[in-house]
Amino acid sequence: MSTIYESRYASSPQAVKKYDTKELRDEFLIDNLMQTDKIILTYTHYDRYIAGSAVPVAGTLKLETIDPLKAPYFLERRELGVINVGGNGTITVDGTVHKLGLKDALYVGMGNKEVVFASEDAKNPAKFYFNSAPAHTNYPTKKVSKAEANKLELGSLETANHRTVNQMIIGGIVTTCQLQMGMTELKTGSVWNTMPAHVHDRRMEIYYYLDIPQDQAVCHFMGEPQETRHIWMQNDQAVISPPWSIHSGSGTSNYTFIWGMAGENLDYGDMDVAKIVDLR
């Protein structure tokens, strides 16, 4: 079987306060992504969001439905966003082939019945990271290269958070039902992401960390602003961020992360900022 999935249920902030390290990691860390010739899925009950990966080497990988969806095919009532973080590859959507290079993105609308992942070179395979959220209507499938992303330059080297936010699957570039995705790249010498931290009660988020140098790590911070917790993370790992939680991190080197979110609104700026001096 080429598809492996698991379900995660939502947790209240009161319960998370009592979690030890293992419980915190078991609940929020996704540490099994990017397995060769497998599709890996984590279905979370936060906004029915799915995070997953596909690494086709020996052949193609088809995105198939899973039991929690109760649907004849994966995108019957869902939309999909994919970013390639490996070698050149293709995603064939109902017979139409879309080529994705390194850090290119593809949005796939609801109702497409067949999605097939492939690599151009098995020795340098594509590594597809994807997110999916429930959808109410079909919007056109669209590729977005990194060059076509809306770029925001944030932070500074003085505060160790100089970074480029590449908004890729977002309003103004791609029309979606609720899914948004992008990629934030930290400059050399900067280690803090999403600082000052914030929460957005009307949508949840998942971070996927990549480009972490060998023998380095990222410490991801979560929890309520006055009750924070941390999870140490490695390359190709993701972490679930509930709508009541901050989502920020600091690395022992600079790195990249892909953010994806869904929920009640599509306003990227809808957030409640927590002042740095108020974090606990």
Binding site, annotated residues = 198, 200, 205, 247
Type of residue found at 204:
M
Q: Determine the Cα–Cα distance for residues 184 and 8; give it in Å rounded to an integer.
A: 26
Beta-carbon contacts of 192 under 8 Å, excluding residues fewer than 6 positions away, are: 155, 159, 160, 161, 186, 248, 249, 250
Secondary structure, 3-state, 121-160: CCCCCCCEEEEEEECCCCCCCEEECHHHCEEEEECCCCCC
Annotated binding site for Zn(2+): 198, 200, 205, 247
- CA torsion 191-243-239-15 (nearest 10°) is 110
Q: Determine the Cα–Cα distance for residues 108 and 101; give it in Å rounded to an integer.
A: 17
DSSP type of residue 36: B
Q: Determine the Cα–Cα distance for residues 83 and 146; give it in Å rounded to an integer.
A: 10
